[in-house]
Chains A and B, each alone.
Chain A
């Protein structure tokens, strides 16, 4: 068997020794320095670029993809071994961030629905982290009710002419390519008549504008299409069948959001939540946290986080290692949101007045980071299908209850 424990054990040794000779130690734990479409800057820039190339050559930036599209043709179990070994030395896969929405969402969807030409044209650039993708989904009038979108693409014979406005587009100001849901049949009912179109960002018909958030940062854009053009061959999947493809893509998104969010701390580099609590709150003679109410809520949170992780492993084990993207992702997204948002609230609460700083020397770096993470975390229950939309999906698709939302 290709994935027998023996094979995986041998593979683990291979990964370990490859990492030892290719991963620059200077980058250990520096995953957070990788930005959308922009690799680590400053004195580590050369090391970071060397690491990206090494990983791209190996095909491990998108390791499950076929070799001809820039991947390594490996199983999910192999990928888990790679991730596991990378985690141990503080290594990371920069492609998932460098390629924007490419490796995590658009790529898997192209693999599933794309033509050979589309796969060859787009996948290798994502897998090597050289081409950054953004995704035009939401519109000012189409948020949770995505099917209400009005951006449109008209067939002009040799190209598609695209007009309309998108919002909440991550990295539109940086991306080289864009995948967008657009209306291709204005007469069809809401969910029919939508298509998924891909186009280059560097053209006069596309303008982007940053949106400033409550965090003070601007990770999202507005994106305006004014007679933007897409090549005729850049429609992904069937004409007017973009709704089901687009939903499928969102499942990939949810799957990528089922972790508890944020770059994983490398062992030993960051204090545990329990240590932070003890540090700020103090303990009594028995080592119990001095705030009994907080203490039990912290215990509750740690148990929920553990239950969430156990559920991810269980679902993976049940799928026999081949994790299928299914409706169950909806329960994981909501559970991840609960865990992540409560963690942020606890961190803020534990630190008392040190937890509510905005800027300045009165606060240390992690205190200020926690505030930004807490604010940004409020988006987790809104993006990728809000908390409430996930509950609609669970009740309808998993539990088989009748439609609760308005029919489109």
Chain B
């Protein structure tokens, strides 16, 4: 754990206590088996908002506490340990980041306070293809009288069924693959021409496919400049990557702890299996990976915090340069660890790891979804190379 401020320690302790008491993993299992429409418990979400977690990023003048990304990460990590389902990440981190980075004063006033109090769920709709490729956006936004007309579809939209507002990356010029010609729009979920359908992923969390058919939206809905949305989109995605890294770290750390506990208690051949060197060395290797991953996750979140001017809340370009590389580093390293850890979780538990009754499978399933979101390890290894100039 990074050297934390008193405030951060307090929020971390609060998160540990709340998650332990209110949302142990059996709550997630209950939610899964209850087949809720939004794939999270409304009561859980309300409590999170009540504690102020939805406003952790939102600056004070818009109703939040503006405590920053590393602090948010401390909470997400704890939620990751028990697979707690909620729209907190999708809305209060990704949605809030988009508005904070590119919103006009009116847009900020309209959306940030409602994000911060949990009454709005603002989510980013970016993916269109099977693999993460933000520059390949094809959903079209044509100029129409007084605004734009959107046609196309989005997939794998986080909390897409519960969302009250979508931030939609659309193409206003050029063709799929061009980095210019992408624009971002704020689209309320109840806008005519928008329809959504639940997407059942293996982690039982909330996703949707969203279709836009001749959806007309006014000029005011534009987030940032027309055709120049790719830079903002990448900035939002980098914050999403760094943020989800914290949840991945929590998910993987819990998998590690469960495995370590099993190594110390399961007896075979008359000994606890942790006394076998083949297993002790694997645990040591995973522990090393865990510590390295934690350093990357915290450094990426810290890099984002360091780029924000404390007084004005404005991003300092001079400091923001490291964020893309650090986000890719974090997503890749914690992704590699989570991948290996979730497989070892099953393997070291043996037969019981294969049963639905035991929790290991829940972590394995969540792991693959988290790895896939916002670019998997291969995506970020390649991106890191490109950003390093080779």
Contact = CB atoms under 8 A, between A and B. Distances in A.
B390 A295 contact: yes
B238 interface: no
Interface string B274-300: 111100110111011001111110110
A334 B384 contact: no
Contact of A278 (B277, B294, B381, B390): B390
Given A296-B382, A392-B277, A401-B260, 20 more contacts: A274-B390, A278-B390, A283-B390, A287-B389, A288-B390, A299-B381, A299-B384, A299-B388, A302-B384, A303-B384, A307-B329, A314-B2, A335-B288, A392-B280, A392-B284, A399-B283, A401-B275, A402-B275, A403-B275, A404-B277
B281 A388 contact: yes
B370 to A, nearest CB: 18
A291 to B, nearest CB: 11
29 contacts: A274-B388, A277-B390, A283-B390, A299-B390, A302-B384, A302-B388, A303-B381, A303-B384, A310-B292, A314-B2, A314-B294, A317-B3, A318-B2, A320-B3, A328-B291, A391-B280, A392-B277, A392-B281, A395-B274, A395-B281, A395-B283, A398-B284, A399-B260, A399-B284, A400-B264, A401-B260, A402-B272, A403-B275, A405-B277
B388 A394 contact: no
Given A277-B390, A287-B390, A401-B283, A311 B295 contact: yes
Nearest to B378: A296
A179 B284 CA distance: 31
Contacts of B382: 296, 299
* Chain B facing A: main interface SS: helix
Contact of A288 (B296, B299, B385): B385
B263 interface: yes
A77 interface: no
Nearest to A314: B295
Contacts of B386: 288
Contact of B329 (A303, A328, A335): A303
Q: Which of B260, B288, B296, B332 has the most CB of A within 10 A?
A: B288
Contacts of A310: 292, 295-296, 299
A220 B294 CA distance: 38
A204 to B, nearest CB: 45
A311 B292 contact: yes
Interface in A310-367: 310-311, 313-314, 317-318, 320, 328, 331, 334-335
Contact of A404 (B260, B276, B285, B333): B276
Interface string A113-147: 00000000000000000000000000000000000
A306 interface: yes
B332 A303 contact: yes
Nearest to A286: B386
A395 B280 contact: yes
B287 A298 contact: no
- Report, nearest first, the 5 A-B pairs whose CB atoms are least far apart: A395-B280, A394-B284, A310-B295, A299-B385, A391-B284
A228 B274 CA distance: 45
Interface residues of A, number: 44
B130 interface: no
Interface string B224-260: 0000000000000000000000000000000000001
A399 B3 contact: no
A401 B263 contact: yes
A367 B295 CA distance: 34
A289 interface: yes
* B-side interface size class: 35 or more
B280 A401 contact: yes
Interface of B: 1-3, 260, 263-264, 271-272, 274-277, 280-281, 283-285, 287-288, 291-296, 298-299, 329, 332-333, 381-382, 384-386, 388-390
Given A335-B288, A401-B274, A307 B388 contact: no
A396 to B, nearest CB: 8
A152 interface: no
A274 B295 contact: no
Contacts of A302: 384, 388
A19 B199 CA distance: 64
Contacts of A308: 292
B306 to A, nearest CB: 14
Interface in A370-408: 388, 390-392, 394-396, 398-405
Nearest to B325: A306
Interface in A144-173: none
A46 interface: no
Contact of A295 (B260, B276, B293, B385): B385
B281 A402 contact: no
Given A274-B390, A303-B329, A318 B1 contact: yes
A145 to B, nearest CB: 14
B381 A394 contact: no
B329 A306 contact: yes
Contacts of B263: 401
Contacts of A391: 280-281, 284-285
Contact of B287 (A277, A283, A299, A399): A399
A49 interface: no
B390 A307 contact: no
A231 interface: no
Contacts of B283: 394-395, 399, 401
A202 interface: no
A279 B113 CA distance: 53
Contacts of A402: 264, 271-272, 274-275
A29 B179 CA distance: 44
Contacts of B3: 317-318, 320
Contacts of B280: 391-392, 395-396, 399, 401, 404
A394 B288 contact: yes
Given A308-B292, A392-B277, A392-B280, A317 B333 contact: no
Contacts of A313: 295
Contacts of A399: 260, 280, 283-284, 287
A273 B332 CA distance: 20
Contacts of B384: 299, 302-303
Contacts of B2: 314, 317-318
Contacts of B295: 307, 310-311, 313-314
A163 to B, nearest CB: 35
B7 to A, nearest CB: 17
